[in-house]
């Protein structure tokens, strides 16, 4: 039985056209019957609502035990900014945030990071949208380690797709834990989405495709 909070989040994503069903290709090249595109959040109320879900998860898992939050370009940028704002107003957890440019700035102060400048031993949390094959996190870590000798223990995402990464028997989340020692916390998982559709009873065609996809790519 899904919790009320998970049902609310799934319905929120669907209402914003962020969680979609059909035929899509992920960043890792896999054909998938569902797709999560946080780039479709486009109103102030939507990003404010999304930030509430993220900050609640952060409060429940790490509380104030971190120094700053990092949002990888591009989708992580509004996520980190909005979450930082909500943590401050909702829980009085006022922490700095920062993000990276895809291309390093060659004028002014230069550099590829915007916002907070991390220092050695900072405990940084990462705010991202989803993890599919772990490609984005492998691009992110060199950026952080190139800035300072930071510690990264936790990452927060909207959806854990529970998919295999570079190894056929481990999910990308498991690999991230093994490679970088990072615990990935998700608001919901693909299993939650599947259970939601099953409870609704009106997504028969999608359910079949999801079952095939999960059997092929997912590890639970």
pLDDT per position as a tens digit, 146-158:
999 999 999 999 9
Instruction: Give the model's confidence band at 111: pLDDT under 50 very low, under 70 low, under 90 confident, else very high.
Output: low
Average pLDDT, the chain: 91
Q: Report the distance separating Cα 95 and Cα 115, nearest Å.
A: 12
pLDDT of residue 38 exceeding 80, the answer is yes
Distance, CA of 170 to CA of 134 (rounded, Å)? 11
**85 is written with which tokens?**
């704002």
Q: What's the pLDDT at 107?
A: 45
Q: Token digits for 185?
A: 């916390």
Average pLDDT in the 109-114 region?
A: 70
Residue 105 annotated in active site = yes
Cis amide prior to 74 (ω within 30 degrees): yes
Distance CA 65, CA 27 (A): 32
High-pLDDT (> 70) share of the chain, %: 95
In a 3-state reduction of DSSP, which class is residue 109? Answer: coil
Report the number of distinct structural domains present in the chain: 1
Active-site annotation holder among 27, 105, 149, 216: 105
Judged against a pLDDT cut of 90, whether residue 184 lies above it is answered with yes
Is a pLDDT exceeding 60 seen at residue 114?
yes
Whether 4 has a pLDDT exceeding 60, the answer reads: yes
Model confidence at 174: pLDDT above 60: yes
Q: What percent of the chain stands above pLDDT 90? A: 69
Rounded to a whole number of angstroms, the CA Rg of the chain reads 17
Judge whether 165 and 171 are in contact, CB under 8 Å. Answer: yes
Count of Cβ atoms closer than 10 Å to residue 2 Cβ: 17
pTM: 0.90
Q: How many Cα atoms sit within 13 Å of 30 on the Cβ side?
A: 19
Which of 6, 59, 95, 107 does the annotation list as catalytic? 107
| Mean pLDDT of all residues in 85-102 | 95
Find the mean pLDDT for residues 61-87: 95
Q: What is the pLDDT of residue 141?
A: 92
**What gap in Å lies between CA 28 and CA 165, rounded to an integer?**
9
What is the pLDDT at residue 145?
93
Write out the residue range of the structural domain in which residue 60 sits. 4-217
What mean pLDDT do residues 2-17 have?
96
pLDDT(110) > 50? no
- For residue 185, indicate whether it is catalytic: no
* Average of per-residue pLDDT across 114-122: 96
Mean pLDDT across 116-134: 91
Mean pLDDT of 88-110: 79
In residues, how long is the chain? 220
Give the CATH number for residue 92. 3.40.50.2020
């Amino acid at each position: 039985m899904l919790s009320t909070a998970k049902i609310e989040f799934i319905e929120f994503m669907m209402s914003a056209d962020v969680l979609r069903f059909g035929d899509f290709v992920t960043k890792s090249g896999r054909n998938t019957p569902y797709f999560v595109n946080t780039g479709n959040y486009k109103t102030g109320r939507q990003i404010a609502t999304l930030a509430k879900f993220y900050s609640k998860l952060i409060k429940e898992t790490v509380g104030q035990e971190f120094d700053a939050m990092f949002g990888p370009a591009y989708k992580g940028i509004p996520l980190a900014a909005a979450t930082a704002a909500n943590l401050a107003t909702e829980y009085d957890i006022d922490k700095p945030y920062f993000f990276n440019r895809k291309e390093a700035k060659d004028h002014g102060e230069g550099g590829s990071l915007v916002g907070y400048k991390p220092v050695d031993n900072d405990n940084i949390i990462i705010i991202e949208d989803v993890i599919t094959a772990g490609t984005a996190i492998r691009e992110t870590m060199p950026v952080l380690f190139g800035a300072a000798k930071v510690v990264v223990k936790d990452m927060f995402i909207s959806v854990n797709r529970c998919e295999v990464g570079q190894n056929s028997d481990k999910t990308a989340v498991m690999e991230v834990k093994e490679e970088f020692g990072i615990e990935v916390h998700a608001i919901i998982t693909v299993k939650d989405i599947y259970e939601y559709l099953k409870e609704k009873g009106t997504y028969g065609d999608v359910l079949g495709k999801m079952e095939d996809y999960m059997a092929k790519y997912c590890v639970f």
